[in-house]
């Protein structure tokens, strides 16, 4: 992770975990980039109409499931109405003040 032993021993746990997360994100980015290059390379030779998302199934990476779980969150009707109410109130205040 590109640090000296002294830097390692002087780190707080939260700093260490932040550095580990950054390293893992960098590795995920590199792996995703390799998968994208592979798709671009083989796309002339695979069935026409194959999308990158369908290609991901034949080139899985260990972190794919984690990312999909984190990205998806559906809002309930009540949450959507509360959000719209907040936006409308903020717009009214900005119109009244400006």
Predicted local confidence at residue 37, as pLDDT: 95
Predicted local confidence at residue 53, as pLDDT: 84
Predicted local confidence at residue 1, as pLDDT: 74
The first and second tokens of residue 35, run together, are 């998968």
- List of residues 6+ apart from 43 with CB closer than 8 A: 50
Give, for all 98 residues of the chain, the pLDDT tens digit: 788 999 889 999 999 999 999 999 999 999 999 999 999 999 999 888 888 888 888 888 888 775 555 566 788 999 999 999 999 998 888 888 86
For the chain, give the number of residues. Answer: 98
Residue 21's closest CA among 1, 51, 36, 37? 1
CA angle 81, 84, 85 (to 5 degrees): 85
Predicted local confidence at residue 97, as pLDDT: 82
């Amino acid at each position: 992770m590109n640090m000296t032993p002294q830097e390692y021993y002087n780190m707080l746990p939260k700093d260490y975990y932040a550095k580990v997360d950054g390293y893992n994100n960098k590795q995920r980015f590199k792996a995703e980039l390799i998968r994208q290059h592979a798709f671009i390379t083989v796309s002339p030779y695979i069935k026409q109409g194959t999308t990158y998302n369908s290609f991901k199934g034949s080139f899985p990476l260990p972190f794919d499931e984690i990312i999909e779980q984190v990205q998806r969150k559906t809002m309930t009707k009540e949450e959507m109405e509360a959000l719209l109410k907040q936006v409308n109130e903020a717009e009214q205040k900005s119109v009244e003040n400006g």
